[in-house]
Amino acid sequence: MIAVARARQAPPARLGAIAMAPGGIDVQAVRRHFTFPEHGRIATNNAASTQPPRELVALYQSLAPGYENVHRGQSTASQRMTALFEESYDTIAQFIGAPGRASIALYRNTTEAINAVMYSLLTEFRDGDNVVTTTMEHNSNYVPWYALCREILPRLGRRVEYRLARFDPDTGELDLDHLASLIDTRTKLVCCTGASNFLGTRNPLAAIRALADASGYVQPDGERRSYLLVDGAQMVPGSFVDVQALGVDYLAFSFHKIMAPFGVGVLYAREHLLASTLPFLYGGDMIAEGRVFPWQVEYNALPWKYTAGTPNILGAVISAQALRILLDLALTPGRPAYFGTDVPIGRAAVHAAMDRVSRWNQQLTGRALDALGAIGGITIYGPRDPARRTSLVAFNLAGRDPVDVAHALNRAGVESRAGCHCATLAHHALGLTPPASCRLSFYLYNTPDEVDHAVAAVAAIAAGRHLPAAPRHRSWRPGVRQVRWRAPGLTA
């Protein structure tokens, strides 16, 4: 394969010292890489989608002239694009601590990744089995299991049950005793969120893993334990994650929550599971070259067994670069060390970067919780300790429709989200009518001033006062220093 011409440099010598030293986010340096501040936006709907750095948008344009399909051509362009595409799997694996690219499958989003697990395991369920999940899940980690048990397997003559573990309505914490009571020797799979997109709760994955391990369920390969699937959509963007240390069997997350402007989702799975289970989609690149016969079809090697058809090639490449730019923004926002290169991502650097992101998000969330808690007539959902939750705060104001609150916040220049946040079961469990709340969510580029402005707007809405003025639109001007990193070697 023709090598891709790009910067193959070692990380700068002082990067190791920076990565290992305690520090915080240089938020002003970070914000210079984004266009939304120049337009006066207060982007606080990050639990839904984050903002893309300008470098990723520019990277898309720079790759377009050399675009070609992957694994399907002998041209120089095809081979170079194939190299970039395959290396994106390596970057993703390194970021989450996976053994290698063979443990990674790419889909459109977290939802499709979870559905892929459901369909891959579909034929393995035996009559009388069960799936255990929780009432704090995003619909994407409940509805597929509902459909499996209520709609799909009954048509095949199999009875499989889903069971829902409750959470404490006052604290938002998962009821581990109830969860333990639901797991038994017929529990094939335990599914839970790593961090709730409504309550914000960070679930104790080590304890949940121990419960799944102790079930005694006999898997097809003879293992006596339940599989564990974690929805990491809200966990991975702001936390250090090591899938091998966590001991998860499956982890799903989305890049549109990690600054990438594309619909790309990741499914990590233990390699032996991807090797032994059936694919979700069939045809195209997932077939071994030339191995289709009237009597037999052989599948491609991992991870390409799970890449039916032409994949989202540029989306994969740029999403992997989003992980690299995230490390740079957290560690060295004034210059790139990882973005635009194929420098291996070390665990120490990932740990240091994500600890900085996590601490910054915690500061913003704690500031919001303290100030919102002083507003009369407000109900805040989930843990009040910012260290026990992810960087979002969902709330309701007495006598106010949450959708109306979100519209009012928008008039004050604050971008929020109102509705059930696809966490419908949890809203019903709390008896909310309608099943809705308003949510603010933060990321590494948000500032304390933005949190204060958002809280002031909520307070004004609660008190019926005039809203604080929305930030004025600011066009780019020469006096505002912008940073634009280039990735001169990352071309096809």
Give 155-161 contacts, CB < 8 A, sequence gap 24+. 157/127, 158/125, 158/126, 158/127, 159/127, 159/128, 160/125, 160/127, 160/128, 160/129, 160/130, 160/131, 161/129, 161/130, 161/131
Name the DSSP letter for residue 70: S
Name the E strands within 44-202: 104-107, 130-134, 161-165, 187-193
Bridge partner list, 415: 43
**φ, ψ dihedrals at 370, nearest 5°:** -65, -45
**Taking each helix axis from N to C terminus, what angle separates 347-372 and 448-463, rounded to the nearest 10 degrees?**
30
Q: Tell which residue, 147, 136, 139, has the closest CA to residue 171.
A: 136
Q: Residue 455 and residue 377: Cα distance in Å, rounded?
A: 14
Q: Which distant-in-sequence residues (6+ apart) come within 8 Å of 213 by Cβ? A: 225, 226, 247
- Burial group, residue 62, by CB count within 10 angstroms (0-12, 13-18, 19+): middle
Task: Check if 191 is active-site.
Answer: no
Distance of CA 434 to the CA centre of its chain: 27
Continuous H helices in 97-250: 110-121, 143-147, 176-182, 205-213, 243-246
Yes or no: say if 260 and 318 are a contact pair by the CB < 8 Å rule. Answer: yes
Residue of 148, 197, 141 whose CA lies nearest to 164: 141
Between CA 135 and CA 174 the distance in angstroms is 9
Question: DSSP strand E in 13-128: where?
Answer: 42-43, 104-107
Instruction: Kindly name the residue from 191, 192, 422, 438 that is annotated as catalytic.
Output: 422
**CA-CA-CA-CA torsion sign (382, 387, 390, 393):** positive
Cβ proximity of 193 and 388 under 8 Å: no
The answer to whether 232 and 82 have CB atoms below 8 angstroms apart is no
Residue 170: other Cβ atoms inside 10 A: 7
Beta bridge partners of 163: 132
Block residue for tokens 């069997």: 249
The angle formed by the CA atoms of residues 321, 323 and 328, to the nearest 5 degrees, is 95
Kindly list the catalytic residues. 422
